[in-house]
Amino acid sequence: MTGHGGWEAANGRFLAASLEWLRLVLRAHHEARESTVDISVDKVTAAAQEVADAEEISPPPALVVLAARLGLSRFERDTLLLCAAVELDPSIATLCALAHGDERMAYPTFALALAALPDPAWEAVSPYGGLRFWRLVDEPPQGVVSAALRADERVVNYLKGLGHLDHRLTPVVTRIPPDAGDGLPPSQQEVADQVVRHWQAGTGTGAVVQLAGPADDAKQLVTAHAAAACGLLAYRLPASLLPVRPVELDEVARLWQREAMLLPLALYVDVEETGENRAASTVAGFLDRVTCPTVVATREIRADLAHRSLVLDTCPPTPAERAAAWRGALGPGADIDGLAAQFALEVPAITEVAAEAGGDPAVAWRACRVRTRPRLASLAERLEPKAGWDDIVLTEQARRQLGEIAAQVRQRSTVFHEWGFGERITRGLGLSALFAGPSGTGKTMAAEVLAKQLALDLYRVDLSAVVSKYIGETEKNLRRLFDAAEGVILLFDEADAMFGKRSEVHDAHDRYANIEISYLLQRMESHPGLAILTTNLRTALDSAFLRRLRFVVEFAFPGPVERESMWRRAFPAKAPHAGLDFDRLAQLPVSGGMTRNIALNAAFLAAADGAQITMQTVLDAARSEFRKLELPVRERDFTWEGAR
pLDDT at 643: 45
| Residue 217 · residue 231 · CB < 8 Å | no
Roughly what angle, to the nearest 10 degrees, separates helices 592-609 and 615-628? 130
> How many Cβ atoms are within 10 Å of 323's Cβ, its own excluded?
19
Residue 394 and residue 496 share a domain: yes
- Structural domain of residue 624, as residue ranges? 560-638
pLDDT at 626: 92
Query: Over the stretch 409-426, which tens digit does the pLDDT of each residue have?
Result: 988 888 888 888 878 876
Residue 154 and residue 12 share a domain: yes
Residue 123 and residue 11 share a domain: yes
Residues 608-616, mean pLDDT to the nearest whole number: 91
pTM of the model: 0.79
| Residue 295 · residue 195 · CB < 8 Å | yes
The DSSP string of 518-561 is HHHHHHHHH-SSEEEEEES-GGGB-HHHHTT-SEEEE-PPP-HH
| Residue 339 · residue 368 · CB < 8 Å | yes
Give the integer Cα–Cα distance in Å for 530 and 515: 22
Give the integer Cα–Cα distance in Å for 288 and 2: 37
Omega within 30 of 0 (cis) for the link into 317: no
The amino acid sitting at 535 is T
* 300 inside domain: yes
Give the integer Cα–Cα distance in Å for 392 and 455: 18
Question: For residue 511, what is the domain's CATH number?
Answer: 3.40.50.300
Residue 311: C-alpha distances to residues 188, 234, 377 (Å): 14, 19, 33
* 501 inside domain: yes
User: How many separate domains does the chain show?
Assistant: 5
* 396 inside domain: yes
Q: Residue 501: which of 533, 534, 448, 546 has the closest Cα?
A: 546
Residue 615 and residue 532 share a domain: no
* 47 inside domain: yes
* 608 inside domain: yes
pLDDT at 511: 58
Query: Over the stretch 529-583, which tens digit does the pLDDT of each residue have?
Result: 899 999 887 777 777 778 888 999 999 999 999 899 999 999 998 999 988 999 9
Residue 9 and residue 98 share a domain: yes
The amino acid sitting at 98 is L
Percent of the chain surpassing pLDDT 70: 91
| Residue 421 · residue 415 · CB < 8 Å | yes
Q: Residue 485: which of 411, 383, 407, 379 has the closest Cα?
A: 379
Query: Over the stretch 421-451, which tens digit does the pLDDT of each residue have?
Result: 878 876 777 899 999 998 889 999 999 999 9
Residue 186 and residue 308 share a domain: yes
- Angle (CA) 173 271 432, round 5°: 125
Q: Residue 113: which of 149, 66, 63, 152 has the closest Cα?
A: 149
Residue 549 and residue 402 share a domain: yes
Query: Over the stretch 201-250, which tens digit does the pLDDT of each residue have?
Result: 875 456 899 999 877 889 999 999 999 999 999 999 999 999 999 999 99
Residues 174-201, mean pLDDT to the nearest whole number: 92
| Bridge partners for 241 per DSSP | none
Residue 342: C-alpha distances to residues 77, 359, 449, 452, 532 (Å): 59, 18, 18, 15, 16
Domain stop point among 313, 330, 359: 313
Which residues have C-beta within 8 Å of that of residue 303, sequence separation ≥ 6?
none
Residue 428 and residue 331 share a domain: no
